[in-house]
Structure 1
């Protein structure tokens, strides 16, 4: 890296930071643009919400696995080659997803994108952290966060425009131009090193155990509602996943070349920051899935309108991220994190009251609380975690904190969507049970619908069945609304529970 500073002077840190931000923005864009496309993809391939979530869940899960590969790949090939190769693979995955003819091919493309994104994001964050002096690293993390926030700010809107003007396939192809540009810049401005004559050992056993644990537990969570939580295959998946997870932790503690350096968690501040990253990453990314699906399925928004709904909150992060990064150098981290988590909690409590009648700008105001929570937790968590480590562990710490954040996203998204499906079914059954012949309200509603159908010229023989069908649609819409409200309450509870980790962090600092 010193030779690049000699070649480009002090401006090199900005050239490297810009290159890293472009790559990180590209991979985050792939996470957020797809959220408004779920209803269209569900219709194109005739799949349900539980299967559609795997387009996000598979991305997050494979991204989690990719993050554990990052440190080993950088040790062999250096930042420059690893960054360029990961972006090329990411571009291939984007093309596969955009050209997919079935949901399986689409899922494979998303998995490739996820693995590549898992390598790129912590690598870019670590390089940005290293090129700034120690007293400006809080600001550096704010700048990095501000750069990548362009993606969640504009991603849903760009995805909506792509669907509105073309179709859902172009949502995946949006990132191809920026990926190729980032490859070119990375080959010039990122540090490089010679490939060692003796390759560092790779923890293959640990990697296999982690993948087995991750995908077994996620499959169990996603299929539990459909197959039954006490069914043999779900219990087997839970048991196998738990054994694999415990074996992974024990193996990583004993092996001389761990895939995940468990000794990082011997630094109390890092451990507390990792716990906060797990929950905040999970609740935020889950909300980016739930909100677009709710407004499209319950409020009948178009993909573009759903994207526009999320834009003001995303743009607010352009101010919040650098602000939080700058003041984190002088204001106690515990105060900023507590403020951010309370903002998360307030936002989700407000969202738990949304319905089909919630106005557009009221919804926008609620999402601003959620984005404020992200703005005051993400850069501060990164800065606290990396500042607590010796300089030689920064790269591993960067990869680990990103790994923990994506792990939270994968598990919390899966668990909350499974809970959502369960609650929608529960509320649907409860509402249906109240629609009896003795219910005056139900009979009055049916009579009113039949009267409208009669005035419209519908034959008498189908008026009653038509009225019942419409009543069923009303019940399903209300059940979905109640289910989403319950899901937002869970996110609020998880946000506020994270304050316990902030308390541990503050006590550790003192």
Structure 2
């Protein structure tokens, strides 16, 4: 647990700082193309990691996957020292520890609330009520601190920029939608479909390939209204979710690969206009703060939605299992058909166990299917927010 905290603590600043460097380096029409290539670089690693990790875990062990991080981090450190020059340092800036700690309290309580709520019976549990109180207290203190502090953790100037605020909402949903399939598909494919680790890695890599294609397409859409690009991206992601919601026992791997490719293309097309629209009218001095909050909301949306998706899986699996169980009895004439008897003959204990196992498997499949339906309708529900974005950057 301590090492996981350290991994998140030291890894979290890398992407926002890198994006702030890109935003400061490129301006005007070049910024969209720069964001596209930046996204390609980020996704290239995300696309290769599942493939390489799956192969290494299958042929060696899971520890070797973590050891792979050492040479990668060493190479990144050397390149940083060689190519990145110090600049834009603000010695007068101070970290608002009160705002930081109160926001951390609220986020931690929200995450624990979603992760443990299903197992503890939600509001029947005193622990869940404690998390709710911590969430409310943390949010209240953070809002008060943001409104009254001289240098708050959340710069108040950022909230006066309409496009940036809309961008925060959109990137929060982007975080929800972009990483959820990566989390849902491995247990679905490994535990229920019986796919090996290497094949799961290749199927997840199709999403990374699609994102590279989407980033390239988005870099060529500079003259297109960003609202159209955003809506197209959300619709493509929704289509991929509906496709994944049809997975059943005999689904082919190429169907899953196609859905992942479509989801990746939609995510790539969506990312560039969201980031470009959010930062277009921000002054240069606010770019580091803006990038930090931007990616904080992305990661928060990702964590919350993944927890909510697994909650849908668990709850609907339980409901489906309860609905299927009454049909498994000696009075069900369907179980007496010639093609059913044998493996599922209720006269033998082994057959009853096999039938119970298959019922559990089908219930879990229904749970995952419902999670992907929930995923798709979330995409569609976000599209009206895109229309609130101003086509021409507002004066700050």
Same fold per superposition (TM over 0.5): yes
Q: Which residue of structure 2 lines up, in the alignment, with residue 487 of structure 1?
A: 371
Q: Which residue of structure 1 lines up, in the alignment, with residue 251 of structure 2?
A: 358
TM-score (norm 1): 0.73
Q: Which residue of structure 2 lines up, in the alignment, with residue 134 of structure 1?
A: 28
Partner Cα distance (1:508, 1:493) in 2: 29
Partner Cα distance (2:392, 2:117) in 1: 39
Counterpart contact for 1:425–1:479, Cα < 8 Å: yes
Structure 1's unaligned 5+ residue stretches are 1-106, 452-461
Partner Cα distance (1:108, 1:415) in 2: 25
Q: 1:208 to 1:473 in 2, by over 3 A?
A: same
| 2:204 aligned residue (295, 303, 310) | 310
- Deviations, residues 352-392 of structure 1 (Å, cap 9, x unaligned): 11112110111111112211210111122111111121122
Q: 1:200 to 1:263 in 2, by over 3 A?
A: closer
Superposed counterparts of 1:99-114, under 5 Å: 107-114=1-8
| Deviation, structure 1 residue 492 | 0.6
- Deviations, residues 449-471 of structure 1 (Å, cap 9, x unaligned): 267xxxxxxxxxx9721111111
More displaced, 491-500 or 316-325? Answer: 316-325
More displaced, 241-250 or 280-289? Answer: 241-250
| 1:408 aligned residue (301, 305, 313) | 301
2:114 aligned with 1:221: yes
- Deviations, residues 57-76 of structure 1 (Å, cap 9, x unaligned): xxxxxxxxxxxxxxxxxxxx
Counterpart contact for 1:209–1:248, Cα < 8 Å: yes
SS in structure 2 of the partner of residue 338 of structure 1: helix
Number of residue-to-residue matches in the alignment: 392
Counterpart contact for 1:146–1:317, Cα < 8 Å: yes
Counterpart contact for 1:446–1:471, Cα < 8 Å: no
Q: 1:305 to 1:187 in 2, by over 3 A?
A: same
| 2:98 aligned residue (205, 217, 233) | 205
| Deviation, structure 1 residue 278 | 0.6
Structure 2's unaligned 5+ residue stretches are none
Partner Cα distance (1:263, 1:352) in 2: 42
| Higher share of residues assigned helix | 1
Partner Cα distance (2:34, 2:89) in 1: 29
| 1:425 aligned residue (318, 329, 337) | 318
Partner Cα distance (1:239, 1:433) in 2: 41
Q: 1:308 to 1:465 in 2, by over 3 A?
A: same
- Deviations, residues 114-167 of structure 1 (Å, cap 9, x unaligned): 122211110011112222243311111011001111022211111111111111
Q: Which residue of structure 2 lines up, in the alignment, with residue 497 of structure 1?
A: 381
Counterpart contact for 1:351–1:488, Cα < 8 Å: yes
Superposed counterparts of 1:91-240, under 5 Å: 107-192=1-86, 200-230=93-123, 231-240=125-134
TM-score (norm 2): 0.93
Counterpart contact for 1:268–1:508, Cα < 8 Å: no
Partner Cα distance (2:335, 2:139) in 1: 51
State the Cα RMSD in Å: 2.1
Query: Which of 1 and 2 has higher RCO (CA within 8 Å, sep 6+)?
Result: 2
| Deviation, structure 1 residue 172 | 1.8
Q: Which residue of structure 1 lines up, in the alignment, with residue 327 of structure 2?
A: 434
Q: 1:219 to 1:442 in 2, by over 3 A?
A: farther
Counterpart contact for 2:209–2:261, Cα < 8 Å: no
SS in structure 1 of the partner of residue 13 of structure 2: helix
Superposed counterparts of 1:34-73, under 5 Å: none
Counterpart contact for 2:212–2:265, Cα < 8 Å: no
2:349 aligned with 1:465: yes
- Deviations, residues 446-501 of structure 1 (Å, cap 9, x unaligned): 742267xxxxxxxxxx9721111111110110011000001001111111111021
| Deviation, structure 1 residue 174 | 1.8
